A and B are shown apart, each in its own frame.
Chain A
Amino acid sequence: MELNKETVDGVCVVSPEGRLDSNTSPAFEAELLALLDDSPTLVIRFADLEYISSAGLRVMLMAAKKVRQLNGQLVLCEIHEPIREVFEISGFLSILDVCDDRAVAVARARGED
């Protein structure tokens, strides 16, 4: 798995690419939590992710908990099938901040939407 990063309107947008499973989640968790230490406002874009298991969702929940503690903002976007179904059955679509589009996600992370 690769974690691609870009900055859009001052907001860090990270795009995991490939598979997020029990093999790749530990590295993803370490990198994501380190990014949140730098700045607790983050957009995660799922367009390039092919696969997610419960190990990947666990990292999402940990990140969301950390963002709450730090009073930051975490917005997830471009969650397509089949990944969307995994978020859906976990109940995560209703507890996490999720939107379709990267531009909307960035605006929301900046507190503009």
Chain B
Amino acid sequence: MRCSLDIGNELTEIPRLADEVEAFCERAGMEANTVNLALDEWITNLVSYAFDDGGEHRIGVELEADTEGLTVVVTDDGHSFHPLDDAPEVSLEGGVEDRAVGGLGLYFIRTLMDDIQYDSADGVNRLRLRRLKRK
């Protein structure tokens, strides 16, 4: 089962995308919230930081469900940012005063996804996330 979606670089597109992903996951018999959270965090980062020109851009989202899980591929034409290599370390240590405000979004993606791949070629960045079905 596959589905290709396309959204603009605006935060308001995220709830609309979430509805589409939820409908897809329901048809595929999979839980949607985890994948939607990872997508939300990544797309929020793209919309906020990836496009320096202030213009309109399209972000591609492809979903593919198989018997073992769900694969999500997000493509964009902004500047590249590797979710593993470029992300600052997040410390979960300490109390309310010590904890830094921010940086949790990429940590969620790293924690919740079973496999993360990222590459950039010919001006297109491609994030591939994989989430396996839980028993």
Contact = CB atoms under 8 A, between A and B. Distances in A.
Interface in B101-131: 101-102, 104-105, 107-108, 111-112
A68 B96 contact: yes
Task: Tell me if B's interface is mostly helix, strand, loop or mixed.
Answer: helix
B97 A22 contact: no
Interface residues of B, number: 28
Task: Tell me if A's interface is mostly helix, strand, loop or mixed.
Answer: helix
Contacts of B37: 51, 53, 86
Nearest to B104: A54
Interface in A33-78: 51, 53-55, 57-58, 61-62, 64-65, 68
Nearest to A19: B15
Contact of A22 (B44, B96, B104, B111): B44
A61 B99 contact: yes
Nearest to A90: B104
Contacts of A57: 104
Contacts of B48: 22
A21 interface: yes
A41 to B, nearest CB: 16
Nearest to A53: B40
Given A54-B41, A55-B44, A21 B96 contact: no
B14 A21 contact: yes
Interface residues of A, number: 22
B67 interface: no
A68 B11 contact: no
B105 A53 contact: yes
Nearest to A66: B96
Interface in B69-113: 92, 94-97, 99, 101-102, 104-105, 107-108, 111-112
Given A21-B11, A54-B108, A95-B94, 4 more contacts: A21-B40, A51-B33, A54-B105, A89-B112
